Amino acid sequence: MDIYLLFGPPGSGKGSLGKLLPKGSHLSIGSLLREQNIDCSNGKLVSDEYINSLVLKYLKQNSQKEFLVLDGYPRTESQAIFLKKYFQDRIKTFIHLSCSDEEVIDRVCFRETCNCGCSYHPRLKPSKRVGICDACGSMLKKRSDDTKEIIQERLSVYKKEKNKILRHFQDKYVDVSVERDFKESLKKIAQFILSGNENYIKDIRNFPIGRDQIKQFGRE
Ligand code: AMP
Protein backbone atom coordinates (compact mmCIF):
# COMPACT_ATOMS: atom_id res chain seq x y z
CA MET A 1 0.00 0.00 0.00
CA ASP A 2 1.21 3.49 -0.88
CA ILE A 3 0.53 6.04 1.84
CA TYR A 4 -0.02 9.74 1.08
CA LEU A 5 0.03 12.13 4.01
CA LEU A 6 -2.25 15.14 3.83
CA PHE A 7 -1.09 17.88 6.13
CA GLY A 8 -2.40 21.41 6.52
CA PRO A 9 -4.18 23.84 8.83
CA PRO A 10 -7.85 23.39 9.66
CA GLY A 11 -10.01 24.42 6.72
CA SER A 12 -7.24 24.00 4.17
CA GLY A 13 -9.36 21.49 2.25
CA LYS A 14 -8.17 18.08 3.44
CA GLY A 15 -11.71 16.73 3.80
CA SER A 16 -12.91 18.29 0.54
CA LEU A 17 -9.96 16.73 -1.24
CA GLY A 18 -10.88 13.37 0.24
CA LYS A 19 -14.29 13.69 -1.40
CA LEU A 20 -12.57 13.78 -4.82
CA LEU A 21 -10.79 10.48 -4.21
CA PRO A 22 -12.17 6.95 -4.66
CA LYS A 23 -14.28 5.74 -1.74
CA GLY A 24 -12.23 4.07 0.96
CA SER A 25 -8.95 5.63 -0.11
CA HIS A 26 -9.14 8.59 2.30
CA LEU A 27 -9.00 8.30 6.08
CA SER A 28 -9.79 11.40 8.13
CA ILE A 29 -8.72 10.89 11.73
CA GLY A 30 -10.96 13.73 12.91
CA SER A 31 -14.02 12.13 11.25
CA LEU A 32 -13.11 8.76 12.72
CA LEU A 33 -12.93 10.30 16.21
CA ARG A 34 -16.28 12.05 15.76
CA GLU A 35 -17.86 8.77 14.58
CA GLN A 36 -16.55 7.12 17.74
CA ASN A 37 -17.97 9.98 19.84
CA ILE A 38 -14.51 10.84 21.14
CA ASP A 39 -14.64 14.40 22.40
CA CYS A 40 -12.33 16.50 20.24
CA SER A 41 -14.36 19.68 20.31
CA ASN A 42 -11.96 21.90 22.28
CA GLY A 43 -9.28 22.07 19.60
CA LYS A 44 -6.72 20.15 21.64
CA LEU A 45 -5.21 16.93 20.38
CA VAL A 46 -6.34 13.48 21.48
CA SER A 47 -3.51 11.42 23.04
CA ASP A 48 -0.79 10.11 20.75
CA GLU A 49 -1.15 6.65 22.25
CA TYR A 50 -4.80 6.39 21.30
CA ILE A 51 -4.36 7.87 17.82
CA ASN A 52 -1.32 5.74 17.01
CA SER A 53 -3.06 2.51 17.93
CA LEU A 54 -6.13 3.56 15.92
CA VAL A 55 -4.03 4.26 12.82
CA LEU A 56 -1.91 1.13 13.20
CA LYS A 57 -5.02 -1.03 13.45
CA TYR A 58 -6.61 0.64 10.43
CA LEU A 59 -3.49 0.34 8.28
CA LYS A 60 -3.02 -3.30 9.15
CA GLN A 61 -6.66 -4.10 8.41
CA ASN A 62 -6.53 -2.26 5.08
CA SER A 63 -3.09 -3.30 3.91
CA GLN A 64 -4.51 -4.80 0.70
CA LYS A 65 -5.55 -1.37 -0.56
CA GLU A 66 -3.54 0.06 -3.42
CA PHE A 67 -3.15 3.43 -1.71
CA LEU A 68 -4.45 5.38 1.25
CA VAL A 69 -4.52 9.10 1.93
CA LEU A 70 -4.13 9.87 5.63
CA ASP A 71 -5.81 13.16 6.52
CA GLY A 72 -4.86 14.64 9.86
CA TYR A 73 -2.09 12.19 10.71
CA PRO A 74 0.60 12.65 11.84
CA ARG A 75 -0.23 15.73 13.87
CA THR A 76 2.61 15.53 16.37
CA GLU A 77 6.27 14.61 16.11
CA SER A 78 5.68 11.51 18.17
CA GLN A 79 3.01 10.37 15.68
CA ALA A 80 5.43 11.06 12.82
CA ILE A 81 8.10 8.89 14.45
CA PHE A 82 5.57 6.14 15.13
CA LEU A 83 4.33 6.14 11.53
CA LYS A 84 7.87 6.03 10.15
CA LYS A 85 8.78 3.18 12.46
CA TYR A 86 6.09 0.94 10.97
CA PHE A 87 5.45 2.30 7.49
CA GLN A 88 8.54 4.22 6.39
CA ASP A 89 8.79 2.34 3.09
CA ARG A 90 5.13 2.82 2.28
CA ILE A 91 5.07 6.61 2.55
CA LYS A 92 4.92 8.00 -0.93
CA THR A 93 4.38 11.77 -0.54
CA PHE A 94 3.86 14.24 2.26
CA ILE A 95 1.48 16.86 0.84
CA HIS A 96 1.43 20.16 2.66
CA LEU A 97 -1.62 22.32 1.88
CA SER A 98 -0.59 25.95 2.38
CA CYS A 99 -3.11 28.60 3.33
CA SER A 100 -2.96 31.90 5.22
CA ASP A 101 -4.40 32.29 8.74
CA GLU A 102 -6.97 34.84 7.54
CA GLU A 103 -8.29 32.48 4.88
CA VAL A 104 -8.36 29.55 7.30
CA ILE A 105 -10.33 31.53 9.88
CA ASP A 106 -12.87 32.68 7.29
CA ARG A 107 -13.31 29.18 5.88
CA VAL A 108 -13.78 27.53 9.24
CA CYS A 109 -16.04 30.18 10.77
CA PHE A 110 -18.47 30.04 7.85
CA ARG A 111 -18.23 26.31 7.21
CA GLU A 112 -21.33 24.13 7.37
CA THR A 113 -21.02 20.36 7.44
CA CYS A 114 -23.17 17.30 6.92
CA ASN A 115 -22.99 13.92 8.63
CA CYS A 116 -22.31 12.34 5.24
CA GLY A 117 -18.94 14.13 5.17
CA CYS A 118 -19.75 16.97 2.76
CA SER A 119 -18.96 20.51 3.75
CA TYR A 120 -20.01 23.87 2.35
CA HIS A 121 -19.00 27.51 2.49
CA PRO A 122 -21.06 30.48 1.20
CA ARG A 123 -18.18 31.81 -0.95
CA LEU A 124 -16.17 28.72 -1.86
CA LYS A 125 -18.81 26.04 -2.12
CA PRO A 126 -22.38 27.16 -1.43
CA SER A 127 -25.03 24.46 -1.09
CA LYS A 128 -27.79 24.66 -3.71
CA ARG A 129 -30.48 25.02 -1.03
CA VAL A 130 -29.62 27.01 2.08
CA GLY A 131 -28.80 24.73 5.02
CA ILE A 132 -29.39 21.49 3.06
CA CYS A 133 -26.74 19.05 1.83
CA ASP A 134 -26.64 18.73 -1.98
CA ALA A 135 -25.51 15.12 -1.76
CA CYS A 136 -27.97 13.57 0.73
CA GLY A 137 -30.59 16.23 1.53
CA SER A 138 -29.84 16.29 5.28
CA MET A 139 -29.76 19.48 7.34
CA LEU A 140 -26.34 21.10 7.51
CA LYS A 141 -24.83 22.00 10.86
CA LYS A 142 -21.86 23.82 12.36
CA ARG A 143 -19.07 21.74 13.85
CA SER A 144 -18.80 22.66 17.52
CA ASP A 145 -15.06 23.34 17.14
CA ASP A 146 -15.56 25.67 14.15
CA THR A 147 -15.70 28.83 16.26
CA LYS A 148 -13.41 31.85 16.22
CA GLU A 149 -11.96 31.00 19.65
CA ILE A 150 -11.38 27.30 19.04
CA ILE A 151 -9.92 27.86 15.58
CA GLN A 152 -7.20 29.97 17.22
CA GLU A 153 -6.38 27.05 19.49
CA ARG A 154 -6.36 24.60 16.55
CA LEU A 155 -4.14 26.90 14.53
CA SER A 156 -1.69 27.29 17.38
CA VAL A 157 -1.53 23.50 17.90
CA TYR A 158 -0.89 23.13 14.16
CA LYS A 159 1.88 25.74 14.12
CA LYS A 160 3.54 24.39 17.24
CA GLU A 161 3.97 20.93 15.71
CA LYS A 162 4.34 21.80 12.02
CA ASN A 163 8.09 22.14 11.56
CA LYS A 164 8.87 19.32 13.95
CA ILE A 165 6.76 17.05 11.74
CA LEU A 166 7.97 18.37 8.37
CA ARG A 167 11.60 17.63 9.08
CA HIS A 168 10.77 13.91 9.22
CA PHE A 169 9.47 13.97 5.67
CA GLN A 170 11.85 16.32 3.85
CA ASP A 171 12.52 13.82 1.10
CA LYS A 172 8.80 13.26 0.42
CA TYR A 173 7.66 16.82 0.90
CA VAL A 174 5.47 18.71 -1.57
CA ASP A 175 4.11 22.13 -0.65
CA VAL A 176 1.03 23.23 -2.60
CA SER A 177 -1.02 26.37 -2.31
CA VAL A 178 -4.76 26.10 -1.72
CA GLU A 179 -5.24 29.78 -1.02
CA ARG A 180 -6.74 30.75 -4.37
CA ASP A 181 -8.88 28.83 -6.89
CA PHE A 182 -9.72 26.45 -4.09
CA LYS A 183 -11.76 23.89 -6.02
CA GLU A 184 -9.39 23.86 -8.98
CA SER A 185 -6.36 23.40 -6.70
CA LEU A 186 -7.97 20.46 -4.93
CA LYS A 187 -8.80 18.83 -8.26
CA LYS A 188 -5.19 19.14 -9.35
CA ILE A 189 -3.92 17.63 -6.11
CA ALA A 190 -6.38 14.73 -6.48
CA GLN A 191 -5.14 14.16 -10.04
CA PHE A 192 -1.58 14.19 -8.76
CA ILE A 193 -2.39 11.58 -6.11
CA LEU A 194 -4.23 9.39 -8.59
CA SER A 195 -1.58 9.55 -11.29
CA GLY A 196 1.65 10.27 -9.40
CA ASN A 197 2.32 12.90 -12.06
CA GLU A 198 3.68 16.13 -10.53
CA ASN A 199 2.80 18.08 -13.68
CA TYR A 200 -0.75 18.37 -12.35
CA ILE A 201 0.43 20.55 -9.48
CA LYS A 202 3.15 22.39 -11.35
CA ASP A 203 1.49 25.79 -11.16
CA ILE A 204 0.33 25.58 -7.54
CA ARG A 205 3.44 23.96 -6.15
CA ASN A 206 5.69 26.15 -4.01
CA PHE A 207 9.12 24.99 -5.04
CA PRO A 208 11.93 24.31 -4.99
CA ILE A 209 12.15 23.76 -1.30
CA GLY A 210 15.39 25.54 -0.45
CA ARG A 211 18.20 24.54 1.83
CA ASP A 212 17.28 27.34 4.22
CA GLN A 213 13.80 25.98 4.59
CA ILE A 214 15.10 22.48 5.26
CA LYS A 215 17.47 23.84 7.87
CA GLN A 216 14.56 25.70 9.41
CA PHE A 217 12.64 22.43 9.80
CA GLY A 218 15.53 21.08 11.79
CA ARG A 219 15.81 24.10 14.03
CA GLU A 220 12.25 24.42 15.36
P1 AMP B 1 -10.09 17.57 12.03
O2 AMP B 1 -11.41 16.98 11.68
O3 AMP B 1 -8.96 17.03 11.23
O4 AMP B 1 -10.14 19.09 12.04
O5 AMP B 1 -9.79 17.13 13.54
C6 AMP B 1 -10.68 17.49 14.59
C7 AMP B 1 -10.07 17.21 15.94
O8 AMP B 1 -9.79 15.82 16.06
C9 AMP B 1 -8.74 17.89 16.21
O10 AMP B 1 -8.89 19.24 16.65
C11 AMP B 1 -8.18 16.99 17.31
O12 AMP B 1 -8.83 17.25 18.55
C13 AMP B 1 -8.62 15.60 16.85
N14 AMP B 1 -7.60 14.97 16.00
C15 AMP B 1 -7.65 14.76 14.66
N16 AMP B 1 -6.53 14.17 14.21
C17 AMP B 1 -5.73 14.00 15.31
C18 AMP B 1 -4.43 13.46 15.52
N19 AMP B 1 -3.69 12.96 14.51
N20 AMP B 1 -3.94 13.47 16.79
C21 AMP B 1 -4.65 13.94 17.82
N22 AMP B 1 -5.87 14.48 17.70
C23 AMP B 1 -6.42 14.51 16.46
Q: What is the pLDDT of residue 81?
A: 97
Task: Give the helix ranges, DSSP H, for 110-169.
Answer: 148-166
CATH number at residue 170: 3.40.50.300
Give the C-alpha separation, 60 to 62, whole Å.
5
Q: How far is the CA of 17 from the centre of ligand 1 (A)?
A: 17
Q: Does some domain include residue 13?
A: yes
Could you list the beta-strand ranges (E) of the chain. Answer: 2-7, 26-28, 67-71, 91-98, 112-113, 119-120, 173-177
Q: Does some domain include residue 81?
A: yes
Give the C-alpha separation, 66 to 134, whole Å.
30
Q: What is the pLDDT of residue 206?
A: 83
- Taking a C-beta distance cutoff of 8 angstroms, is the pair 72, 29 a contact? yes
Q: Does some domain include residue 25?
A: yes
Q: Does some domain include residue 115?
A: no
Please give the residue range of the domain that contains residue 95: 2-100+156-214
Q: How far is the CA of 198 from the centre of ligand 1 (A)?
A: 28
Q: What is the pLDDT of residue 220?
A: 38
Q: How far is the CA of 211 from the centre of ligand 1 (A)?
A: 31
Give the C-alpha separation, 104 to 97, whole Å.
11
Question: Domain tally for the chain?
Answer: 1
Q: Does some domain include residue 117?
A: no
With a cut of 50, which residues of the chain have pLDDT below it? 210-211, 214, 218-220
Report whether residue 51 contacts ligand 1, using a CB cutoff of 6 Å: yes
How much is the pTM?
Answer: 0.91
- Mean pLDDT of all residues belonging to the chain: 91
Q: Does some domain include residue 22?
A: yes
